Structure 1
Amino acid sequence: MNTERFFTSVGVAVRGKDMSSNPPEVLLRTHSGFTRIAGAPYNGGYRFLNVPQGEYYLRSGSAYVLTDERHVEIGRNYLGRQDTAFTSTYHTPLSVSLTNLAPWQQAGGLAYGSRLQFVSGSVDFAGEAYFRNTIPTGTTELETSDTEASNLTNFIPVFEAAKGDGMYVNQLTNVFGKPLPTTGAPLVANSLVRSMHVPPFDFTADGFTPLTISGEMQEVPQSNVSLEWRLGAFTPYASDVHPAAVPRTPSFYIDVSAHGPEEGWIGYSGEVFSFLLPQGASFTLTDRLPYGNPYPAHWRLVGSASYSFRAMEAPPGSGGLLRPLSGFISSTDYVENLVAAPIAPRLTPPRGLAIDGIPASSQRVVGNTSPIISWQPPANGAPTAYRVMLQRYSEEYYTLMGQNLFYLPGTATEVRLPPGILEPDTVYAVRVMAIDSPNAEVTRRPFSTHELLPIYSADTTSSFFSTP
């Protein structure tokens, strides 16, 4: 089945998705490759006949699921009205006239400074303002049209007053914690401090007409988050991410779960708090910091602690231009659960990543059109699932871009790429994520895996490889 669910303040709307333009297919792995089985529409989904018992690959779009289930739900969850219309742009001119702001602060180093974010729980809109000119430090009243708003999640939706489409305007600014042991400077976090709710309005982004926001910002209820983050427990696993990787930037976020299900969250509805720490930090961070929350009590807060790692390599044919290969070790849960105990890795990266049995930590040409990506389980933790991402290097943008995703059960230790995925004379990399998510069912509902809490994950990445 392909059941779409739309989460709003009045409940969940459900509808089936027409798959006729890009139907799913079943691939049976054989000794030498794959046998493809086409399906046919049946009772709102697709039915595949003569599929033997046991594991098979189910393709939906560019994603593949390794499963032995006889019924798989490939639908997705969405935030906002099911009848939302979207424009064809992510950006819109913005006209702002706001009073009673918290004194404006500048960004610098790891500090974000003051920002304006926009969140609507009615439609899929979580945006941010980008100012072309510097706003003077200490500003408490802001009137400018020299700015734009960008939606961070989707094309900008059409706002309809008759359907209740309003939004929150939030100001986030710097708050300060204890001195950091490495620098002696205080921890600088970004916290929501002022907010204004804009009642339902009509607006269609056309690239010319500005989104107009005016009013008086209000102080919001404040809470505190107290945490103990054992960063030194993360850094030893850099070489498991990649033999050449080094620890990079730890980050901590408290995001908003608007209208999410009881066990998770849907989409992205902005943040109320965040901070970054110095690269390679290996101390234990203990602090108590404030954040504001203007939202209804049923909008749960989701905390995420993530440590990034990076190796630098020159892709084949790039003339020596170094580009990053990245991975992360992360924990995400409702914030009160995340900080209830010291934050340390619950899961470490998969080990022994290989392509056709050859270690993937060195660059090489892969001539096989259907190679096997294999790995060993993590040294610590028990994965409930794996997600393998095939990334293609873009010579136009000088970066890796996701091409295909493979979802596999936690017992898997390899995936075979179907023929036709790897294109000739192309540079790739592959990232394998181990996932521990006790409420997720990757073989039954693969595309909701990252929405169910808690979720712990850890990545390993290959070096660049190319095809002849």
Structure 2
Amino acid sequence: MRMNRLGLACVSMCLVLSGCADGGPDVINEPKDNPAPLGPNGTPGEGGGWTGQPTGEDETPREVDDTDSDDVVITHTERFYTSVGIAVRSKDLSANPPELLVRTRTGFTRYTGAPSSEGYRFSGVPQGEYYLKTGHFYVVSDERRMEIGRNFLGRQDAVPTPHFTTPLYLNLTNLAPWQHGDGLANGSRLQLVSGQVDLTADVAIYDFVTEGQTQLNAYDVSAYGISGNFPVFEAAKGDRLYVNQLTNVFGDLLPTGERLAASAVIRSTQLPAFNFTADGVTPLVLIGALQDVPMSDVSFEWRLGNYASLTTEVHPAATPRLPSFSIEPSAHGPQAGWVGYSGELFNFMLPAGASYTLADRLPYGNPYPSSWRPVGTVTYSYRILETLPGTTSTTRSVGGSVLTSDYLENLVASPIVPALTPPRGLAIDGIPATSQRVVGSTSPIITWQPPANGAPTAYRVNLQRYTTTSTVTQTLFYLPGTATEVRLPVGTLAPDAIYTVRVTAMDGPQQEVTREPFTIFEKLPLHMADTVSSFFTTP
């Protein structure tokens, strides 16, 4: 969640977006056992519902350049946020073109696109909702133009390595006295953050560190990229690294009798620019003296009982889990938002099921420029435990949460309570999704009702596939806040497989899910609330 009000012009890295297609639509009929439901006015799929089957032969693409009200134009723009401005480049969609489907009474019509000077264009698309598929995402929209690009931190010319971890050699002095962890108190730890390339990494120290120790000379150390793989660091381009020490800070006594323990940045150093390419073998050498950082206090009142009372709205069999509160810096971010992840300034977790009102004041440090505005996030998590279908003893968990993110001063300006509650009445083909069953086909209709409180601006529908050894997010749907259903396209679900569905209501006044679907989580404030299903099995 990053906010950097730099009035610098964007640098264009590429001029043309392209795609592939339209020589006329392909009509795809629905399976007869699952006819398309009609909306109140007789139109199929009203309220965000969809039937889809992304199959059919594409005709030879043709170039289309003139504007037409029946055209849909898709662009893919990547923005790279740095301390010196924003670099912009357009991505060619020809190699991996999106698909567009329009619901009909008996199935759908699939439209293929074509490269144009404006972007990837679908011609002859009737007014109203369509379904855009890109990768494993579907977006339901009625907009004639959609931007499917993403925002990134760091130099646009940074080169990634294939390694998300690297050995370290640490020679650090002037640490705050080292603390060991205990329960929900994490103890001391180190985190690495770059302001020039996209890297945030946690440090794992395998050598024993004595409590109270104020220097580290350690070889058995590794760094693990949280933001992704390590990029190549280039001294000539000014690539640097913050080394932050987080340590326990304590608040008042909790109702459990324990003191509230948070983890906060209290010392830091920014290393000079350096060269380094992670290869999994060569250690990254970190030498420096940490210094005290500017400190602030965060004062808040968090009414946890308002979250615990939502447990059965997530799922009738859910139990409340760990609440958490975090503060993160918003490096180089756009106005009213943030980009990427630049580590932590402060965080704590509370015992599972906490339902009291927590009012406290705690310190945290911030080594970053004032333009990296602190963003606060509160999350209250829930889960259900169910036996995996087809087994007698394999138990798996399904999780959900209620979350709010905002600039810190806004988050704590008043008592923290849920602004949005979970969607209600989750069902599959009209049958409540709160008990296990075998669904009637591999293209069922997922329905829900709006939350009891709050006004969603968007919904996300997340399908997860389960085996005895893994859980994989298979498909994500993004829909407008007026939607109450989505029908899964044939081919979305595999036969004889186990799934759950999570429907997330989202509320963000800056969100435009039908125009810019993949930046909605960067807009502030953001409220989210989940409802989840039990396991269901496909025939």
Superposition TM-score tier, normalisation by shorter sequence: over 0.9
Paired letter, 1:385: A
Q: Which residue of the other structure, out of 500, 514, 518, is the alignment partner of 1:447?
A: 518
The residue that corresponds to 2:133 in the other structure is 59
Q: Contact 1:332–1:456 at 8 Å: present in 2 too?
A: yes
Task: Work out whether residues 81 and 152 of structure 2, in 8 Å CA contact, stay in contact via their aligned partners in 1.
Answer: yes
Give the structure 1 partner of residue 462 of structure 2: 389
Equivalent residue, structure 1, for 2:62: none
Which amino acid is the alignment partner of residue 363 of structure 1?
Q
SS at match of 1:54: coil
Distance 1:138 1:37 in 2: 66
Deviations 1:289-324 (A, max 9, x none): 000000000011110001001110112124321111
Aligned 1:166-181 pairs, distance under 5 A:
166-181=240-255
> How much has 1:257 moved relative to structure 2?
0.7
- The aligned residue for residue 412 of structure 1 is 483
Preserved contact between residue 3 and residue 16 of structure 1 (Cα < 8 Å): yes
Which digits, 9 at most, give the CA deviation of each residue in 1:178-199, with x for residues without a partner? 0001x11110000001000011
SS in 2 for 1:145: strand
Instruction: Give the CA deviation at 1:34.
Output: 2.8
Relative distance call for 1:95 and 1:318 in structure 2 (3 A) is: farther
SS of match in other structure, 2:146: coil
1:187 corresponds to which of 247, 260, 279: 260
Residues 318-327 or 280-289, more deviating: 318-327
TM-score normalised by the chain length of structure 1: 0.98
Alignment counterpart, residue 343 of structure 1, candidates 387, 392, 416:
416
Letter of the aligned partner of 2:436 in structure 1?
Q
Structural mapping, 1:348-427, within 5 Å = 348-397=421-470, 400-427=471-498
Aligned to 1:222: 295
1:341 and 1:318 map into 2 onto residues whose CA distance is: 48
Is 1:172–1:194's contact at 8 Å kept on the other side of the alignment?
Answer: yes
TM-superposition CA deviations, 1:198-222 (whole Å, max 9, x none): 1111000001100110110101010
Provide the rounded CA distance (Å) in 2 between the counterparts of 1:202 and 1:32: 60
Alignment of 1:236-247 (within 5 A): 236-247=309-320
Please give the alpha-carbon distance, in whole angstroms, between the structure 2 residues aligned to 1:330 and 1:300: 19
Q: For the residues of structure 2 that align with 1:207 and 1:321, how far apart are their CA atoms?
A: 36
- Contact in 2 for aligned 1:311/1:324 (Cα 8 Å): yes
Q: Which runs of 5+ in 2 are unaligned?
A: 1-74
Alignment-derived partner of residue 25 in structure 2: none
Partner of 1:95: 169
Label 1:332 to 1:424 Cα distance change in 2 as closer, same or farther (>3 A): same
Q: Which residue of 2 is the match for residue 156 of structure 1?
A: 230
CA RMSD of aligned residues (A): 1.0
Partner in structure 1 of residue 344 of structure 2? 271
Superposition deviation, residue 367 in structure 1: 3.2
Q: How many residues of Structure 1 are paired with residues of Structure 2 in the alignment?
A: 465
For residue 260 of structure 2, give the secondary structure of its aligned residue in structure 1. strand
Q: Where does residue 48 of structure 1 map in the other structure?
A: 122
CA deviation digits over 1:1-35, x for unaligned, max 9?
A: 00001100111111111222221110112234332
Distance in 1 between the 2:324 and 2:232 partners? Answer: 33
Alpha-carbon distance between aligned partners in 2 of 1:78 and 1:301, rounded to the nearest angstrom: 18
Q: Where does 1:249-268 land on structure 2 (aligned, <5 Å)?
A: 249-268=322-341
- Which has more radius of gyration? 2
What amino acid does structure 2 have at the position aligned with 1:418? P
CA contact (8 A) 1:16 1:44 kept: no
- Superposition deviation, residue 44 in structure 1: 5.3
In 1, Cα distance between the equivalents of 2:465 and 2:297?
42
CA distance in 1, matches of 2:249, 2:108: 56
Indicate the percent of aligned positions where both proteins have the same amino acid.
Answer: 62
* Partner of residue 5, structure 1: 79
Counterpart residue number, 2:31: none
C-alpha distance in 2 between matches for 1:76 and 1:387: 17
For 1:31, give the aligned amino acid: R
**Partner residue, 1:281:** 354
More off after superposition, 447-456 vs 99-108:
99-108
- What corresponds to 1:299 in structure 2? 372
- How far residue 42 of structure 1 moved from its aligned partner, in angstroms, is 1.6
Deviates further, 287-296 or 311-320: 311-320
Per residue, is there more strand in 1 or in 2?
1
The TM-score with structure 2 as length reference comes to 0.85
Q: Is the 8 A contact 2:207 2:218 kept in 1?
A: no
Q: Is the 8 A contact 1:34 1:418 kept in 2?
A: no
Cα contact 1:355–1:371 (8 A) shared by 2: yes
- Pick from 11, 15, 19: which aligns with 2:93? 19
Partner of 1:458: 529
Partners of 1:267 and 1:291 lie apart in 2 by 21
Q: Does 1:77 align with 2:148?
A: no
1:140 aligns with 2:214: yes
The CA distance in 2 between the partners of 1:290 and 1:113, in whole Å, is 16
Pairwise CA distance, 1:396: 3.0
Partner of 2:16: none
Which is further off, 345-354 or 368-377? Answer: 368-377
Instruction: Return the alpha-carbon distance in structure 1 between the equivalents of residues 211 and 112 of structure 2.
Output: 62
**Secondary structure, counterpart of 2:378 in structure 1:** strand
Gaps of 5+ in 1: none
Query: Deviation of residue 361 (structure 1)?
Result: 0.7
1:120, 1:300 → 2: CA distance? 16
**2:142 aligned with 1:68, yes or no?**
yes
